[in-house]
Structure 1
């Protein structure tokens, strides 16, 4: 098991990609702290699945867009588990607005949810990584390379995540902490459930792999980046999109 004896934090861990990541890391031997904002029932379901498979996990409720809440969550995890080895920043929000409908509230909400939460958690967690180092994995999007109408601010907020990933990898590298990001295309979750069927079919038709992504597709990439197998990779945003995006 590639994450044995590690403590991993997964934000947005109660559903979708986050839940799949939590389950995967637990299956790889990690003790998992699932951070969720409001849906305790879904968080409990993930905990039960992990426990039934023989893993260890605990849920922590927090709005990680709030700096003090992020700090308190990290302190609670360290108090309960004693350490942090892996931080997965998956919490985020998707909100569509076309050019003429964008306002300051839209910009503030998406940058707070998608970029601010990453910054808050990284700043709070980094002092608690062991001297041997650790892994930070952030969730970005393939739309940073090819934004579509209505996604401009969402894509910009996720592009900021990739910039933070690259910049903080340089600052934290001397401590043995790698920082990477994963950039999925459309994934079948409740966040994308309202996507018009015509758009889903267009994505499938444009994807060499010939399908929409599944949460487990992303979780497997995250687990690799969270493991020692990724020790020579840092500061990178890795596309996980079935070949959809033209980006070298």
Structure 2
């Protein structure tokens, strides 16, 4: 991949303090992009990621923003633009997960997941778009549960990730006249702090008999952020070791 295509560009990673988001932020920095990343509560981890980014010779900033808050998302975008002048790449990774049977799912839990996993994705993209030039890249992080929801209690999470996949299709049509692409990555189980308690169990469901690593998702995001992906838009790319086959 031609990493020069992201050199000196600015990336905004929504939800970049840990796990997949942190891996993507670090990979884009390694490819030469300046990176602004948001966090909802893990401020110390976000600062550590920002320091690791700057150690690679590019600029970074960590911004507090709950993706359920339109005002906080808009403020984070404003701060990133004030620092870097524009946004070339947007990665929307922030998400929440709650597993429960439909009879036990509270209204508060439902609203929180819809607010962050669906509404927050749309609002983050909407806030960034006025500051994106032609050739910009938007990347969402969905889930393979959008196409394979076989785990009890995952109905709401699957619903939110299915909504993101459809959203990306519609936004691809809207953004095409501006030369901006948007694509959706759908990871299966990835080894992060969110999945630490279930890794051994889920390995048996995956043909490759292992879970993925954050860097593997980051590599796909780096391709989608590059000029080499310019003919791909509106796609959902599943990376799950064959789990959804």
In the superposition, the TM-score normalised over structure 2's length comes to 0.95
Counterpart-to-counterpart distance in 1, 2:108 and 2:43: 27
Q: What residue is the counterpart of 2:167 in the other structure?
A: 164
Matched position secondary structure for 1:238: strand
Q: Which runs of 5+ in 1 are unaligned?
A: none
Q: What residue is the counterpart of 2:146 in the other structure?
A: 144
Runs (4+) of structure 1 exceeding 3 A deviation are: none
Q: Of 120, 123, 127, which residue of structure 1 is paired with 2:123? A: 120
Q: What residue is the counterpart of 1:179 in the other structure?
A: 182
Q: What is the Cα-based RMSD across aligned positions, in Å? A: 1.2
Tell me if 1:205 matches 2:204. Answer: yes
Matched position secondary structure for 2:6: coil
Q: Which moves more between the two structures, 201-210 or 183-192?
A: 201-210
Cα shift at 1:64:
2.2
Counterpart-to-counterpart distance in 1, 2:135 and 2:226: 12
Tell me if 1:57 matches 2:56. Answer: no
Q: What residue is the counterpart of 1:232 in the other structure?
A: 231
Cα shift at 1:90:
0.2
Q: What residue is the counterpart of 1:189 in the other structure?
A: 192
In the superposition, the TM-score normalised over structure 1's length comes to 0.93
Q: What residue is the counterpart of 1:12 in the other structure?
A: 15
Q: Which runs of 5+ in 2 are unaligned?
A: none
Cα shift at 1:194:
2.8
Cα shift at 1:58:
1.0
Counterpart-to-counterpart distance in 2, 1:66 and 1:20: 24
Cα shift at 1:201:
3.5
Q: What residue is the counterpart of 1:242 in the other structure?
A: 241
Counterpart-to-counterpart distance in 1, 2:25 and 2:170: 26
The count of corresponding residues between Structure 1 and Structure 2 is 241
Cα shift at 1:202:
4.5
Cα shift at 1:99:
2.3
Cα shift at 1:210:
2.5
Counterpart-to-counterpart distance in 1, 2:184 and 2:72: 23
Counterpart-to-counterpart distance in 2, 1:203 and 1:38: 28
Counterpart-to-counterpart distance in 2, 1:63 and 1:90: 12
